[in-house]
Amino acid sequence: MIRVKLRAWTASFRYPTFQSGYQPTLPVPPPSTIQGVLSAARGEPVYLTELPYVGYIFRSEGKGLDLEKIYALGKVETDIMRREFLYNVELYLYLPDEWEEHFKRPRYQLLLGRSSDIATVEEIKWVELKKSEAPVGGAVLPLELGVPGVVHALVVEYDYSVTPRKARLVRPFVVLPFPKGKAPKLKLPYDEELGVGVYLHRWNQ
């Protein structure tokens, strides 16, 4: 498989339960953001349920707070909204080999959240991950693995054949920040360079 490393100054992933007011960010991207990144790279909608596997690890150096001016539809008045963002972020994608060409020359901008969260491809390398008992984090994991953590219902993929887009698959996940100390362990393909296990999602099964 290949590992694609993306880097960006900022990223922001909307909390599914917050619709207005203060906007916190999830510590890692939901699967639908990965769908967006892959679709932008290939230049057409990509459905994660059609891929043999996809894994990802995300980490950031910290969190900040942004102020956004928003306009209500049909109204003159504006408002200021506080939105969290992550800074100096890295996203590692673990993909089948054929994705190398798409990330060498992405068709559209690669975004990690808002339109201003532009990411660049910093590295594409071939990796061979061996299974090992490893700490996990910087990812979303299925509940069935029994890992303790905050649970969210997240969109896996959107249906882009209709306007506006509709959620095609929603699943509950444990959302785990990248480990900075003691972390739960699982026997998974191990990325020795990052020091974490990589869960490979297989939504086609």
From CA 57, how far away is CA 188, in angstroms rounded?
A: 13
Mean pLDDT of 82-106: 97
41 Cβ contact partners less than 8 Å away, ≥ 6 residues apart: 99, 102, 103, 106, 107, 108, 110
Domain range for residue 110? 2-201
User: For the segment 147-181, what is each residue's pLDDT rounded down to a tens digit?
Assistant: 999 999 999 999 999 999 999 999 999 999 999 98
Measured over the CA atoms of residue 141, residue 146, residue 150 and residue 153, the dihedral's sign is positive
Confidence of residue 122 (pLDDT cuts 50, 70, 90): very high
Strands 200-201 and 139-142, how do they pair? unpaired
**Number of separate domains in the chain:** 1
pTM above threshold 0.75: yes
- The pair of three-digit structure tokens given for residue 94, joined into one six-digit string: 């673990």
Residue 19 has pLDDT above 90, yes or no: no
User: For the segment 176-192, what is each residue's pLDDT rounded down to a tens digit?
Assistant: 999 998 899 999 999 99
Residue where the block lists tokens 């506080």? 82
Helix or strand or coil: residue 95? Answer: strand
Please count the other Cβ atoms lying within 10 Å of the Cβ belonging to residue 111. 18
* 75 vs 4, higher pLDDT: 4
Q: Where are the beta strands (DSSP E) in the chain?
A: 2-11, 54-71, 78-95, 110-111, 118-126, 130-135, 139-142, 150-159, 166-176, 185-191, 196-197, 200-201
Helix or strand or coil: residue 100? Answer: helix
Helix or strand or coil: residue 168? Answer: strand
